[in-house]
Amino acid sequence: MKINKKLILIVDDNPENRKVIGTLLINNGYDVGAASDGQKGLDFIKSEQPDLILLDIMMPGIDGFEVCEKLKSNMETKDIPVIFLTAKTSTADIVKGFRVGGIDYISKPFNSEE
């Protein structure tokens, strides 16, 4: 019997972050998708819907807040949980992350136990 693994999409413009997070998730039994910016993340979701999105905020082009707003305004993607994974840790940024639809906020650098 095949067990379907959960797919987690990492959207981060830093290739080292994508590699470290991706390896950590794969080693814990998850399937991983990766996108290097917000638009590529949105494009990925058009072809394959992840179970969770780990989303950086500060990226060129479309930032993470805008990506999350686009996801939450679309009936097909509004229920995908989004966790912001970012160095932006001011109270205003955290509050904005929740306002646009994020379910959690993990600050960089992060601890793998988080």
pLDDT in tens, 70-107: 999 999 999 999 999 888 778 888 889 999 999 998 88
Record the pTM. Answer: 0.90
Per DSSP, what are the bridge partners of residue 26? none
Residue 114, SS3?
coil
Mean pLDDT, the chain, rounded, equals 91
Cα 21 to its chain centre, rounded Å, is: 11
Q: Is CATH 3.40.50.150 the right assignment for the domain spanning 7-107?
A: no
Q: Which residue has the higher pLDDT, 107 or 20?
A: 20
Q: What angle do CA 113, 22, 78 make, to 5 degrees?
A: 90
Name the percent of the chain lying above pLDDT 70: 92
98: tokens are 């929740």
